Structure 1
Amino acid sequence: MTSLYRCRTALSELREHFNALTPARASWSAEVWPERSGLVVYRKSGNRIAEPMRWGIPRTILNGVRNGRPVSTTMWFQRRNPTQSARFENPWRCLIVLDSFACPSGSPGARTRTWFGLDDRPIFAWAGVWAQVEDGKVFCGMLAPSNNVVFRPSMPVILDPDDYDLWLGGRLDRAAPLANRPYGEGRMYREELGEPWGGDTR
């Protein structure tokens, strides 16, 4: 499960890549942990809108029940239950903006970050869903089986620009295959910098 990613970009770069409307100013975390703010693109009135949202949808919204984890930051599309299926109607699908994501390496107590990204794009999109809550907007990302570059059982569902319209506005039966596939390993890089895994999680 992915629990750390980076979004080091500018609103101008986001507007150009996603052809999205953006606020004049916005604040988000360059290093995004659960319940921090990340940049998200969603569809409204035929336009792509980009704005910061908080990472993690309350489980009461996704499942209708409470359990040990108060929010879900990731989920498997193919494991959704009937209650969760309503979250996948196209008004609630979104694109999570990132430049790389991390997985922990090494033994407990000495874990470091291994980063993964795309060779051909400085920023890219992770398929997700979003929700409106009392204090703002929140989001969660889709998981796919990993390819041979990512050494964990799962990885984010990465979308190419040609997929953006289908994920944001297409019928669910046509968009669903996008949420079930690992990304092509030949287009990804892996980078080990020796950074401690925890770092600044506040």
Structure 2
Amino acid sequence: MSQTALRTLEDAVAQAQAGEVERTWGQRLALKWLMHTGAAQSWQCGAFWDALVDSNAWACTAASGQDHRINTLMGMLDSWYLKMGLKPPALKLRQRWARRYAADIDMEAGTSQLPCMCNRYQPGERQRIEDHFSARVLRAYNEGPATVHPKEPGWVVRQRDGQMVLEQMTWGFPVVLRGKQGQPLKPRPVNNARFDKLGAFWKRWAAQPEHRCLIPASRYAEAVGTPGKMTETWLWVRSEPVFAWAGLWRTSDEWGDCYTGVMTCGPACKRDPVSGVIGV
């Protein structure tokens, strides 16, 4: 029974690494069982339950963000394993569980990154974006958040009728995955298109120039390290207040117009030994 409870919670943490978590009665019962056995205290279970869905509050912390949230959840699980005299799952097994909830991850691709690549960035000032890309705004929009997280609105530059236009779309393509019993889950924002998957999962959009776009940014965050020991690093272009990275966009039934960023990592990244920030 204890093994089943812990596996249920491991599955919830795997979902959290890929995006939003759909909390269930099974997860609640698993936490109650751990309290019943004495492995977990009431306040720990409450913190675990809240952290599963409180992704934005954790992600807004300046020094740790989403990775601190995952670290905390995994740390709680590890402590409960130890109290029960059980061995925590191996890192590779946890990676496999996390990839189950990321539709664009290929286990045979030869790359070891988890589904959580860039999960927040800062677009910068809208007027500066307009001037830099000589783009006109198609309609009136709110300014949007200063730091954009998956399923939030962000600025996108694309071509329309031969002109550069600036629009606001939802960050992340909605992808509907299925649970253990085959039931459809809530749509998840897949906000990063892996470069090595552009000819497979993303081909239907990447192969069409009209579905390509630019994502303006002043800087963006990357997770560095292995699960449970990750840190956050911010990247930007030293000589430019605004830059852009390649993106894809489409119109969805769930969220209207949405976009995703094409991500990879190159050798030009250099870490500042004092601040821990990477400049390109």
Q: Give the alignment's TM-score, normalised by structure 2.
A: 0.47
> Which of 147, 164, 169 is the equivalent residue of 2:267?
147
Q: Is 1:132 matched up with 2:248?
A: no
Could you tell me which residue of structure 1 aligns to residue 122 of structure 2?
A: 6
- Distance in structure 2 (CA, Å) of the matches to 1:123 and 1:190: 24
1:40 matched to 2:160 = no
> Could you say what the CA RMSD is over the residues aligned between the two structures, in angstroms?
3.2
Could you tell me which residue of structure 1 aligns to residue 103 of structure 2?
A: none
Match of 1:93 among 190, 212, 222: 212
1:17 aligns with 2:17: no
- Matched letter for residue 20 of structure 1: A
CA contact (8 A) 2:141 2:168 kept: no
Q: Any residues of structure 2 matched to 1:39-188 within 5 Å, and which?
A: 39-59=155-175, 70-82=188-200, 84-88=202-206, 89-104=208-223, 113-134=232-253, 135-147=255-267, 149=269
Deviation at 1:9, TM superposition (A): 1.1
Distance 1:110 1:78, change over 3 A: closer
How far is 1:192 from its partner? 3.7
Query: Which ranges in structure 1 are unaligned for 5 or more consecutive residues?
Result: 61-65, 152-187, 194-202
148 and 69 in structure 1: CA distance in 2 versus 1, 3 angstrom threshold: farther
**1:116-143 alpha-carbon deviations (Å, 9 max, x no partner):** 1001110111100001123421000001
Q: Is the 8 A contact 1:103 1:113 kept in 2?
A: yes
Output the amino acid matched with 1:100. Answer: R
Cα offsets for 1:78-119 (capped at 9, x unmatched): 323556322021110000111001124578778653211001
Sequence identity of aligned pairs in percent? 26
User: Which structure has greater strand proportion?
Assistant: 1
Alpha carbons of structure 1 residues 51 and 191: separation in structure 2 relative to 1, 3 Å: farther
Structure having the larger proportion of residues in helix: 2
Q: Tell me the SS of whatever aligns to 1:31.
A: coil
Deviation at 1:29, TM superposition (A): 1.5
The one-letter code of the counterpart of 2:194 is W
Question: After superposition, what is the alpha-carbon deviation per residue over 1:60-87, rounded to whole angstroms, capped at 9, x for unaligned?
Answer: 6xxxxx7897231111233235563220
1:191–1:87 Cα change, 3 Å: farther
The answer (yes or no) to whether the contact 1:115–1:190 under 8 Å persists in 2 is no
Higher Rg of the two aligned structures? 2
The amino acid that maps onto 2:211 is W
CA distance in 2, matches of 1:143, 1:149: 14
| 2:133 corresponds to 1:31 | no
Letter in 2 for 1:123: V
Tell me: CA distance 1:69–1:136, structure 2 relative to 1, closer, same or farther (3 Å). Answer: closer
CA–CA distance in 2 between the matches of 1:96 and 1:191?
26
* Distance in 2 between residues matched to 1:14 and 1:105, nearest whole Å: 28
